[in-house]
Amino acid sequence: MRVLSGIQPTGRFHWGNYFGAIRQYIDLQHEHDGYYFIANLHALTTVRDKAMLQSLTRDAAIDLLALGLDPNKATLFVQSDVPEVSELCWILMTGTPMGLLERCHAFKDKQARGLAADAGLFTYPVLMAADILAYDANWVPVGQDQVQHIEVCRDLAGSFNHQYGKAFVLPEARLLGNAAKVPGLDGEKMSKSYNNTLGIFEDAKAVRKKIMRITTDSRPMEEPADPDKDNLFQLYRLVATTEELAAMDALYRRGGFGDGEVKKALADAAERYFESARQRRAELENNPAHVTEVLLAGAAKARATATTVLNRVKQACGLRTF
């Protein structure tokens, strides 16, 4: 199966990005043909600073490689390095009903909040469809909030196939069922939008300070607590070993502990968990030529696949006359 996913370079990756999605992408590369791209075209809807977008794109590539994405097993590339996707997007756009896009939740959410919604955001699902269809992807790992966009992609591909003959593979959404729900520092879902994140490659001392400032309830120390209802424990579950987790679970149910003790254990476990990734990242940071080589090789492979699909599509709809 060919698996495809993209991630926007709109900020540095945090625990929610990793445990919610990236870890699953890395696992899938061992069993499937993985295409993973850094969605810098999508990021243009929010990042309007040239230097920042370039820096975030580069950081995203280094971070993904440091976290375990293997270019010998998966194809990693930058979205804008495959111009065939933009041409395919236009072809799809000519057959996309306005009403379909008006019903998409990302656009509706912005409208409801009174925020400016430009044409880029409005047509975002069509570019996302082109991203998927350009590589004959079978599976697209997504969270529940992105399922609608996969349905839009299938609708557009199905409509084209009906009009011109089968040119597109119809992809399927693969829900990230084993993805962890990661609470932020305030107990809400961890998100850059809420400014409640723990950065994967953030300075370890800064992460520790953030953890120590996490707000908790006023439970008396001697009372037991339900670990399944505690945000600190949910974070600890992500980075602790099996033995550490069992011991902490027993401590919660027994009582006689303070939140400061849990926070320290969480900070210690987090440092150990991401230590090897931090080391790999430092090595990659010092070898920019290797990162460039990986991205160029990935783009070359991605372009070859996208060109085959685009030629098939252009032949089908009459854009290739010779």
Q: pLDDT-based confidence at 218, cuts 50/70/90?
A: confident
Cα(172)–Cα(18) distance, rounded to whole angstroms?
Answer: 22
Which are the contacts of 149, defined by CB distance < 8 A and separation ≥ 6? 104, 124, 125, 128, 129, 142
Mean pLDDT of 288-310: 98
Distances (CA, A) of 313 to 134, 164, 184: 10, 9, 44
Give the β-pairing of 172-175 and 139-142: parallel
Cα(36)–Cα(104) distance, rounded to whole angstroms?
Answer: 24
Q: Which two tokens stand for residue 199?
A: 């950065």
The pLDDT of residue 303: 98
Q: Which tens digits make up the pLDDT trace of 67-106?
A: 999 999 999 999 999 999 999 999 999 999 999 998 888 7
The pLDDT of residue 178: 63
The pLDDT of residue 105: 80
Exactly one of 192, 210, 301, 314 is catalytic; name it. 192
The pLDDT of residue 177: 65
Judged on CB neighbours under 10 Å (0-12, 13-18, 19+), 121 is buried
Mean pLDDT of 277-303: 98
| Burial 176-187, CB ≥16 within 10 A → b, else e | beebbebbbbee
* Residue 210 CB-half CA count within 13 A: 18
Residue 50 a catalytic site member: no
Cα(53)–Cα(43) distance, rounded to whole angstroms?
Answer: 8
Q: Which tens digits make up the pLDDT trace of 186-211?
A: 999 999 888 999 999 999 999 999 99
Cα(309)–Cα(297) distance, rounded to whole angstroms?
Answer: 19
Fold of 2-181+287-317: Rossmann fold (3.40.50)
Average pLDDT over the chain, rounded to whole? 94
Residue 263 a catalytic site member: no
Q: What CATH number does the domain located at 202-273 have?
A: 1.10.240.10
The pLDDT of residue 27: 93
Q: Which two tokens stand for residue 290?
A: 């290797």
Exactly one of 189, 210, 264, 301 is catalytic; name it. 189
Percent of the chain with pLDDT over 70: 98
Equal fold, 2-181+287-317 vs 202-273: no
Residue 110 a catalytic site member: yes
Exactly one of 50, 73, 108, 110 is catalytic; name it. 110
Q: Which tens digits make up the pLDDT trace of 111-169?
A: 777 767 789 989 999 999 999 999 999 999 988 888 999 999 999 999 999 999 999 99
pTM of the model: 0.93
Mean pLDDT of 50-61: 98
**Residue 176 DSSP symbol:** -
Q: Where are the domains of the chain?
A: 2-181+287-317, 202-273
**Residue 190 DSSP symbol:** P
Out of 27-36, 125-134, 178-187, least confident range: 178-187
